[in-house]
């Protein structure tokens, strides 16, 4: 029987922090492989099971996700019989940053676009991306350095062709965002002269290439692209229409999707020449029991639908745990303190008042170092929650006014928690943040299934086994644009014919051969605590 580690009580830890602040730098003495295998949640005993069916059978996968990937469809032939059918050139599923950008790009290329969202347009992980976007725009930087940094941070598991496309698109992606009306922080001495972009160094990078807007960059990006999407006349937006199943035609091509109209409780079919999945991640599965920073709809729907249609997955056993999620108070667990705080100079301090890792190492290294401090009894305990300190008071003393000027979201978060970040450190611990793997694509965003493309967090191959800060926002711009352009081109070809659910017979046969039950249905649509039963909702619609 394992015994829980004894952590340092909060009051005593505060005394140790005050006596040492600012604590002296101290690197983690464990080699990175040993640190990750000993403390990263992906490597916990029993964390993974092997997929038994589908194009990626044999790959390891978290049990929570494997349960959904190896489930039966929510939709039967009877559910689509007589359902209204809409027709469009390009169907985009997902209304976050990648979905809006794909829709905009396809529409501007001349395609008729239907954008379907589970919640409302803009309700996504994009708005929660606080730190910034990476792009090699500095004179001392280069595309090659960005490429090498990304590969190194991902433990050299990423697809080099995808990484090359990502970093090569970086400078133009930033120019495009500025043209769409997005604001970026400027250096103080350049604001009167038209502005030079302020660049910071993200964790794991060898150059300052992180561009931001205060500490709510994703929200500002989403504002700009959402407004552009709403003003585009050739985009039809269907809010509150989650995808329940993808459609196929008699050639095995993806031919659109069966959506569920949440307001009316009915099935709506969309026939499309090309379909772009931009459904985001899977944090609301709470893998390994962790709280999550993800928005309410992040339930792995896109992975489930693409996999059942025959699209291979990759690195689905790799998830990112953001180092600085709120550990206390309980009602804010999982909310993020942006990496912008550590990029600006905030320290991590254990219950003994000691720093224990270089704060700008890659996220998997920093998160594992924090979990090690907790596991070995050097964490800080407060009201049943255990974490370590993020020393924002020392940052404010070193750079007076930075919390109110540049780290606005952080300051508001502290106020919600009931303390002053300039006087008291945050209690933080890692939170489930990002799905490193996903659907395998080529540099255009196309999958192995004709007619099906993907963009954003649902994609695998760009980050390998760990994502660098700032590459997520770059990814959704770069591959949103690439997938949107490719979808518009594909939709000009032959149109879908004899649309239905022809792929489900083979899928169900494969489940039965492996002894898997047909009673388990997916996608989840909403997390269990949302009290939404997708199967029941579908049954009522029928």
Q: Which residues are catalytic?
A: 363
Element (H, E) at 326: strand 319-326
- In terms of phi and psi (left: phi > 0; alpha: psi -120 to 50; beta: otherwise), the region of 82 is left
Contact partners, residue 110, CB within 8 Å, separation at least 6: 488
For 130, counting Cβ atoms within 10 Å of its Cβ (0-12 exposed, 13-18 middle, 19+ buried), the class is: buried
Contact partners, residue 419, CB within 8 Å, separation at least 6: none
Tokens representing 502? 């022809």
Please list, residue by residue across 146-184, b when 16 or more beta carbons sit within 10 angstroms of its beta carbon and e when fewer do: bbebbbbbbbebbbeebbbbbbbbbbebbebbeebebeb
Question: 261: which strand partners?
Answer: 266
Q: Which residue blocks in 291-362 are alpha helix, DSSP H?
A: 301-309, 340-344
Please list, residue by residue across 486-512, b when 16 or more beta carbons sit within 10 angstroms of its beta carbon and e when fewer do: bbbbbbeeeebeebbbbbbeebeebbe
Element (H, E) at 170: helix 160-179
Tokens representing 85? 């059918």
* Cα–Cα separations (whole angstroms), residue 326 to 202, 383, 429: 20, 13, 6
- In terms of phi and psi (left: phi > 0; alpha: psi -120 to 50; beta: otherwise), the region of 334 is left
How far, in Å, CA of 1 to CA of 60, rounded?
A: 27
Q: Whose CA is closest to 391, among 5, 24, 141?
A: 24
How far, in Å, CA of 48 to CA of 364, rounded?
A: 18
**Got the DSSP string for 480-517?**
HHHHHHHHHHHHTSPPP-S-B-THHHHHHHHHHHTT--
How far, in Å, CA of 469 to CA of 338, rounded?
A: 10
Q: Whose CA is closest to 297, among 534, 462, 66, 482?
A: 534
How far, in Å, CA of 339 to CA of 366, rounded?
A: 11
Contact 324, 337 (CB under 8 A): yes
* Cα–Cα separations (whole angstroms), residue 395 to 27, 387, 402, 418, 506: 19, 19, 8, 19, 58
Angle at 165 between CA 187 and CA 464, to 5 degrees: 95
Sign of CA dihedral 157, 162, 168, 173: negative
* Residue appearing with tokens 């099906």: 452
Cα 97 versus chain centre, distance: 11
Phi, psi of 72, rounded to the nearest 5 degrees: -85, 165
């Amino acid at each position: 029987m394992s015994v829980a580690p004894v952590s340092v009580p909060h009051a005593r830890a505060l005394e140790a922090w005050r006596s040492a602040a600012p604590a002296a730098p101290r690197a983690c003495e464990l080699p990175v492989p040993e640190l990750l295998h000993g403390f990263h949640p992906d490597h916990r005993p029993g964390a993974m099971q092997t997929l038994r069916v589908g194009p990626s059978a044999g790959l390891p996968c978290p049990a929570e996700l494997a349960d959904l990937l190896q489930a039966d469809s929510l939709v039967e032939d009877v559910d689509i019989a007589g359902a209204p059918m809409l027709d469009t050139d390009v169907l985009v599923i997902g209304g976050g940053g990648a979905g809006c950008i794909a829709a905009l790009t396809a529409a501007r290329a001349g395609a008729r676009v239907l954008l379907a969202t589970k919640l409302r347009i803009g309700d996504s992980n994009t708005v929660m991306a606080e730190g910034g976007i990476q792009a090699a725009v500095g004179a001392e930087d280069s595309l090659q350095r960005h490429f090498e940094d990304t590969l190194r941070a991902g433990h050299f598991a990423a697809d080099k062709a995808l990484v090359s496309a990502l970093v090569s698109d970086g400078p133009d992606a930033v120019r495009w965002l500025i043209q769409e009306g997005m604001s970026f922080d400027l250096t103080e001495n350049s604001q009167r002269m038209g502005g030079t972009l302020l660049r910071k160094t993200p964790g794991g990078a060898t150059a300052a290439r992180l561009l931001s807007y205060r500490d709510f960059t994703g929200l500002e990006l989403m504002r700009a692209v959402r407004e552009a999407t709403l003003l585009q006349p050739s985009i039809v937006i269907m809010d509150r229409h989650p995808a329940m199943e993808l459609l196929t035609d008699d050639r095995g091509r993806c031919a659109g999707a069966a959506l569920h109209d949440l307001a009316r409780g009915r099935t709506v079919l969309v026939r499309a020449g090309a379909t772009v999945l931009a459904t985001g991640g899977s944090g609301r599965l709470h893998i390994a029991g962790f709280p999550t920073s993800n928005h309410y709809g992040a339930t792995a729907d896109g992975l489930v639908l693409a996999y059942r249609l025959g699209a291979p997955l990759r690195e689905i056993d790799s998830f990112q745990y953001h180092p600085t999620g709120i550990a206390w108070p309980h009602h804010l667990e999982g909310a993020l303190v942006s990496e912008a705080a550590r990029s600006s100079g905030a320290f991590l301090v254990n219950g003994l008042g000691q720093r224990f890792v270089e704060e700008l190492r890659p996220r998997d290294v920093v998160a594992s170092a924090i979990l090690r401090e907790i596991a070995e009894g050097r964490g800080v305990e407060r009201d049943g929650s255990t974490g370590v300190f993020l020393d924002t008071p020392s940052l404010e003393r070193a750079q007076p006014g930075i919390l109110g000027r540049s780290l606005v979201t952080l300051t508001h978060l502290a106020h919600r928690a009931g303390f002053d970040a300039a006087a008291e450190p945050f209690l933080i611990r890692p939170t489930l943040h990002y799905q490193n793997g996903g659907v395998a694509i080529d540099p255009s965003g196309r999958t192995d299934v004709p007619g099906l493309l993907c963009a954003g967090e649902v994609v695998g191959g760009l980050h390998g086994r760990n994502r660098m800060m700032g590459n997520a926002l770059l990814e959704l711009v770069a591959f949103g644009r690439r997938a949107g352009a490719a979808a518009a081109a594909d939709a000009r070809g032959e149109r879908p014919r004899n649309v239905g659910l022809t792929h489900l017979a083979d899928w169900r046969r494969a489940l039965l051969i492996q002894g898997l039950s047909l009673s388990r249905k997916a996608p989840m649509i909403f997390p269990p605590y949302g009290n939404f039963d997708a199967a029941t909702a579908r049954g009522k619609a029928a």
